[in-house]
Chain A
Amino acid sequence: MTTVTETHEDTQEHGMSDAGYIKIAVILALITALEVSTYYVDFGPLFMPALLIMMVVKFVMVVSYFMHLKFDSKIFSFLFYTGLGLAIFVYCTFLATFKFFIA
């Protein structure tokens, strides 16, 4: 399953070796376990920020590594993150008008 030799060119073009992907997957699994633990363990005031940060970290990791965005042309990043950025801006504003973020 894992390649024994990885040419430098390969790594440049395709981002990572199989072993690297498995490492990322393990990290993602661990973070997921941590997320699920919030259901069982009381995080106190850290609950919300911890969950949100973990969500963002997982999101960025999948996008950057599994989807290769980190290693590909910046144009792809521009196209995708513009969409994502607009979505976050527009929908947070939308929810704000409903006083959603006011405790």
Chain B
Amino acid sequence: MSTNELTLTPGNALDVAKGKLVVAPTQSLGVVRRPVNTTGWREWLFTVDHKKLGIMYGTVAFVFFIVGGVEALFIRLQLALPDGRILSADKYNQMFTMHATTMIFLFAMPMAAAFANYFLPLQIGARDVAFPRLNALSFWLFLTGGLILNASWFLGGAADGGWFMYAPNSGPVFSPTNGVDFWILGLQIAGIASLIGSINLIVTVLNMRAPGMTLMKMPVFTWMILVVQFLLVFSLPVITVALVLLMFQRSYGATFFDVSQGADPLLWQHLFWIFGHPEVYVLILPAFGIISEVLPTFSRKPLFGYPFVVFSGASIGLVGFGVWAHHMFASGLGPVSVAVFSMATMAIAIPTGVKIFNWLLTMWGGKIWYSAAMKFAIGLVILFTIGGLSGVTHAVAPSDTQQTDTYYIVAHFHYVLFGGMVFGLFSGFYYWWPKVFGKMLNEKLGSWNFWFMVIGMNLTFGPMHILGLQGQPRRMYVWTEARAGEGFFNLGFWNMVSSIGSFILAVGVLFFIINVIKTTRNPERAPLDPWDARTLEWITTSPPKVHNFDRIPVVHHLDEFFHRKYEEDEATHTMKQVATGEELVRAEEAAADADIHMPGPSYWPLLLSIGVGILGMGVIYGTPIMVVGALVVLFSSYGWVLEPSVPDAIDFDTPSTDGHTKEITPVG
């Protein structure tokens, strides 16, 4: 942890105005004075607090979820009726490219980062991540990349080559507008953000666990996030290479994908999918982690087969690096390659199946509480299984040859991504909202949210299996009556059903937004432990104090929080409650650590990100801009490295100094 710290020592002259942190700088040795505002908008702009960053990630990611969703609705409107005229072919290409790119890189990954940022340190009993300023840098770089990517809509048209951006189609000859260049830059920058974040979180998990928390006592959510970070750290460089090669071709005339020069059209595909396949596990494992917390909590039973769930997650991560060419079965790889990758892909279904069985066995015999979070979790188990089954049919290369590039594939990945990943994230929203915001999301609205999403989702993507087998190709901007096939249940019918389903889905999302607004307006506070949960993040106030734990917990068990609340009764051999969450938190406050060090805010992550953004734009708009960007980057890097240490006397009174318990409104 950096020495630009705020030392919280008891008994300091203290300026806690309404519980907000106020810091007085005394000296500054470096380039500029340290930011000290811990209130207002500057509190958020310069923060390095993992919880604030988590909220920022989540907010921005949700905005992009809506953006990506609107893009999807445009697609469904276009395809609802024959001879659709809502989108031209060109606009349609941009729409599906950006829908997928936004959903994957600007919604799914950052939303998982939101959960990971907020809860991973809490779940392992830490006060922040290993590198707080790098953490902030990751967020600002993500935002920069997302803005650059979407700026393309207003600056000449968005990328239109599909989210997989196959070259040579994405090269300068066939994609002459700047859209692809924005795509390359946006992803490159967002990729750096994820790479930095992955190193940060791995070191955090390895090094900052509370005493007694061995790796096999960590919550499953933390484990899945850890596996994801390994996937990212080793797969992102590969797409970095692909993006660099494409950028060199488009902007500097290189020949990597120029078939007339002898290039191999499969080069891009390999490089992209070597990243792209681990990427899909990056997308789903956090959701798996979330429901591995939710299912036991709402079944009032421990997770069945914890070691199997952990090891299957790690196996999925590892084998995930060996199956990428199953995205290329129809590309002319040759029978040997196809056979090898086909078998490897079938193998990866096994650890996934292990997880499904463990989740089902967790619920079996439990006292199920059908909260909104639980509904979404159960929804994931069912819908992901459906998606997984269609996935198995793709693994069989001969059948995939018929399915590939049809809507059957679209059905598969939307079942696993929407039914799997998105449902997992929503489960997490309902589960952890009270901890993050101190309020409970409304359960009734949650129910409406869930049912509209389930019904909408199945109506949207279920028919796509049929459409695919009926022969509708992907990326087809319009369909005509003449080609719709015979009978009532033809392309026309199922496209209409799917489009109606998408709007039902949208209403479901709307219910969530209404729920959030209503909850925010509702003054009623949530209890500390509303779900009778099992893991460490619940031994905190809601929201947690800026330093998370008054005393770093000592861990003796898996599901430590549960074991502090419940002990086995000798006589009856049942679990008896010996303490409530509130009592445990009060006990921690009473025994607070004397010396608490928290990392201080910093300008440099934001400044560095702005420099990187300018540098990127310079690739499109000219070298002088690149030079400006590079200078900002250089200046920010040196500023960062030379950042002055914070003056010693800084002032934050933990609620329990001098043995007195103080009520402090938690810093929001």
Contact = CB atoms under 8 A, between A and B. Distances in A.
Give yes or no for direct A-B contact (beta carbon below 8 Å).
yes
Interface residues of B, number: 15
Contacts, number: 25
A90 interface: yes
Interface string A59-89: 0000000000000000100000011001101
A77 to B, nearest CB: 14
Q: How would you classify the secondary structure of chain A's contact residues: helix, strand, loop or mixed?
A: helix
Given A90-B321, A94-B274, 11 more contacts: A75-B206, A87-B234, A93-B322, A96-B337, A97-B266, A97-B270, A97-B325, A97-B334, A97-B337, A98-B264, A98-B266
7 contacts: A82-B230, A90-B274, A94-B270, A94-B274, A96-B337, A97-B266, A97-B270
A79 to B, nearest CB: 8
B333 interface: yes
Contact of A97 (B230, B238, B333): B333
A83 B318 CA distance: 11
Contacts of B270: 94, 97
Contacts of B321: 86, 89-90
Interface string B221-259: 000000000100110001000000000000000000000
Contact of B322 (A75, A83, A87, A89): A89
Interface of A: 75, 82-83, 86-87, 89-90, 93-94, 96-98
A98 B270 CA distance: 10
A97 to B, nearest CB: 5
Contacts of A86: 234, 321
A31 to B, nearest CB: 28
B226 to A, nearest CB: 12
Contacts of B266: 97-98
**Shortest 6 CB-CB distances between A and B: which pairs?**
A97-B337, A94-B270, A86-B234, A90-B274, A83-B234, A97-B333
Interface in B265-281: 266, 270, 274
Contacts of A96: 337
Given A89-B322, A94-B270, A94-B274, A82 B334 contact: no
Interface in B330-377: 333-334, 337
A103 to B, nearest CB: 16
B159 to A, nearest CB: 25
A96 B325 CA distance: 12
A29 B334 CA distance: 44
Contact of B234 (A82, A93, A94, A97): A82
Nearest to B338: A97
B362 to A, nearest CB: 31
Nearest to A98: B264
B242 to A, nearest CB: 12
A81 B507 CA distance: 49
Interface string B189-203: 000000000000000
B227 to A, nearest CB: 12
Nearest to A94: B270
A2 B90 CA distance: 69
A75 B174 CA distance: 47
A82 B230 CA distance: 10
Contacts of B325: 97
Interface string B449-487: 000000000000000000000000000000000000000
Contacts of B333: 97
Contacts of B206: 75
